[in-house]
Amino acid sequence: MTNILLVTSSPRGAEGLSTRFSSELAEGLKARLGGTLSTRDLAVNPPPHITQAYIGGRVVGPDTRTPEQARAVGLAQQLVDEVKAADVVVLGSGMINFGPSSQLKAWFDHITWPGVTFDYSEAGGPQGLLTGKKVYLVTAAGGVFSEGDWAPFDFQTAYLRHLLGFIGLTDVEIVRVEGTAFGPEAAKAAIAAAEAQVRSVLGKVA
């Protein structure tokens, strides 16, 4: 049985194109692979920014944590457990000021956990611990950032791919929805291209 985790993060909710296409992709994967589909909507239920309670609580034993530390670490553990339980992760991200939303950044801040989702090898380099999973990263942007003059300013896709790889999620396939801000015809073409990408991805799934 395949466990699929869908993580959406667009402040626009269901109207966000990253939410739309990541949801369509996740539903399509479930239809083809069977199993379960769990959803974590970071816009509806945003994780808080990390605080001293989380930073201090994750390095002490459970029996010595304060109530505030226990709550902070408990949330992080819940988020980590959702990723651990997944065989496939579908992650939707809409670009906000050239990068991911603060909600998505806060999610990564909780699950990027020394000794739990990454560690350091004997040689001293980082080693991701969440291995053996497939990730589909759906990014949306009003401009075109995959190529051309604005490509150097895509601080969303490369950053998210780096964070995923840092915790061991290295098998990442990217679906882009871009160029929707240049008028109705451009938006229509961008959406059609994204639909084609989703069909292509699903067509390769056994």
128: left (phi over 0), alpha (psi -120 to 50) or beta: beta
Three-class HEC string of the chain? CCEEEEEECCCCHHHCHHHHHHHHHHHHHHHHHCCEEEEEECCCCCCCCCCHHHHHHCCCCHHHCCHHHHHHHHHHHHHHHHHHHCCEEEEEEECECCECCHHHHHHHHHHCCECCCEEECCCCCEEECCCCCEEEEEEEECCCCCCCCCHHHCCCHHHHHHHHHHCCCCEEEEEEEECCCCCHHHHHHHHHHHHHHHHHHHHCCC
On whether 93 is known to bind a ligand per the annotation, the reply is no
From the annotation, which residues make up the binding site for FMN? 10
From the annotation, which residues make up the binding site? 10
